[in-house]
Amino acid sequence: MITYQVFTQTALSTVLNEINYYWPTIGALLISRIDTIVFIYAFTWVFVISSAMPSVVLGRQKSVILQFFVVMSLTILTLSAPEIVKIYFDFDVKNLFNFVTFLQNPYFAILYLSAPYLILFEIDILGTGEKKTKAKNKK
C-alpha cells in the first residue's frame, strides 16, 4: 500500500504540474488539495479490489460472509507480502521505488491514474452485458 501511495503521489504531481503549466488557477487549486485526491484514488483501488476479487474467487453467487473472509484474506496477504517476498525471494520491496521515474511522464501518469476507473467501467459493462444475455435467454 505504501508503494501505491508513492506511485500515486508521483503520478498526481506530474499530472497536476502539467495542468498548472497550462491552467495555473485550476492547477494551484488541485495542488492544494493533493492529499484529498490521493485519498480518492486509494479508496477507488480498495473499492475495485474489494468488488472484483470476491467475484473472481467466489463467482457471482456469493454470501456476504464469504466475501468478508476473501477481502480479509487479501488484506492480510497484502500486509504480509513485503515480508514474504523478502524471505522467499530475497527482494526488498523498497526497490520498487526505483520504478517511480516512469510516472514522471505525463502520459504514463494519466494511464496509471485512470487504471482503476477503466477497470470499474469494464466490470460494469461486462456485468450489464451478462444481464442482458441472461434476460434474452429467459425469454
The closest of 99, 116, 45 to 74, measured between CA atoms, is 45
pLDDT of residue 75: 67
How far is CA 104 from its chain centroid? 18
In tens, the pLDDT along 94-139 reads: 777 777 888 889 999 999 899 888 888 887 787 666 666 666 777 6
In tens, the pLDDT along 1-31 reads: 555 666 888 889 999 999 999 999 999 999 9
Integer angstrom CA distances of residue 69 from 57, 84, 126: 11, 21, 25
Domain ranges across the chain: 2-91+103-119
For residue 81, pLDDT over 90 is answered with: no
All 3 cell numbers of residue 95? 526497490
The closest of 78, 75, 33, 81 to 50, measured between CA atoms, is 75
- Quote the pTM value: 0.64
pLDDT of residue 58: 63
For residue 85, pLDDT over 70 is answered with: yes
